[in-house]
Structure 1
Amino acid sequence: MTHERITSKEGLEMEAAVRELAIRWPEVTEKVDGFGHTSFRVSDKPFVIMGEGGAEGPALSFKVLKTTQELLLAQEHFYKTPYIGHHGWVSIRAQNVADYSLLADYLLEGYLCAAPKRLAKQMQAQLPSLMES
């Protein structure tokens, strides 16, 4: 990812779609870092990072379990996030996402990875009702 704030139409649409999914979970905050990346965090730990990607277009990165990362990397369009991929981060270009709701489960997995244990337990108890919304 390059160091630019999201300004493209495609990037702003990505940001809005991801915001709609992520902001509904407890204690999620949105932050723009010094590099211009928009992130969604829980307890100040990021689980989603987005940024403009220059000629390649905007990209979405999210944290998942290592087993999920392996499954996603075997699919077309997903790639290991530079610098943090070894920690379970996966990326995809906005142009390759047909429907952001299809990524909702992965974003929730990232949230659960980053959330404090008390929040993760609370969320897991509510999972059946959350998956319906």
Structure 2
Amino acid sequence: MKSEQGLDMLERVRGICASLPEVEEIVDGFGHDVMKVRGKTFIMMGDGEGKGLPGLHIKSDKEQQYLLLQQGGYIRMPYLGQHGWVSLDKEAEPDWDEIAGLIRTAYLLAAPKRLVKQVLESGQGGGSE
């Protein structure tokens, strides 16, 4: 992430992920900033996608994806959408409280059971519903 908007998004996502155990941040071969837990990706971000605005892509399940698409503000992510992934609609104003819940839920979908249990027992889990 190099743009001002992209760096702001990255810092917000880092802040949300800071309370989650064993999150690793990498830059993948496509230049995306990626958040992983135990090698499993749950967040992808990239600058310059589409209209030049930063992109935020969040792992979800198909049921949650359906609900998010119906409410608006999210679109089905190209390529990974078939697995439940959603992207923040660049036309919509981000709701960072909702996004924080979605990021935590994405983490719980990707994390091993031991870490899920740790997060849920600490009260850090929770979704957007």
| SS of residue in 2 equivalent to 1:55 | coil
Structure 2 length-normalised TM: 0.87
Matching residue within 18, 23, 26 for 1:28: 23
Deviation at 1:96, TM superposition (A): 2.8
Maintained 8 Å contact 1:57/1:93: no
Listed as ranges, the gaps of 5+ residues in structure 1 are 1-5
Point out where structure 2 has 5 or more consecutive residues left out of the alignment: none
Partners of 2:24 and 2:37 within 8 A in 1: yes
Identity of aligned residues (%): 41
Q: What is the alpha-carbon root mean square deviation over aligned residues?
A: 1.6
Structure 2: how far apart are the matches of 1:39 and 1:118?
A: 22
Residue 97 of structure 1 and its aligned partner are, at CA, apart by 3.7
The 1:95–1:23 alpha-carbon spacing in structure 2 relative to 1, beyond 3 Å, is farther
Q: TM-score, normalised by structure 1?
A: 0.85
Aligned length: 124
State whether structure 2 residue 115 is matched by structure 1 residue 119: yes
Q: Secondary structure at the match of 1:102?
A: helix
Kindly state the Cα deviation for residue 67 of structure 1 after the two structures are TM-superposed.
Answer: 1.3
Distance in 2 separating the partners of 1:66 and 1:100: 21
**Poorly superposed stretches of 4+, deviation over 3 Å:** none
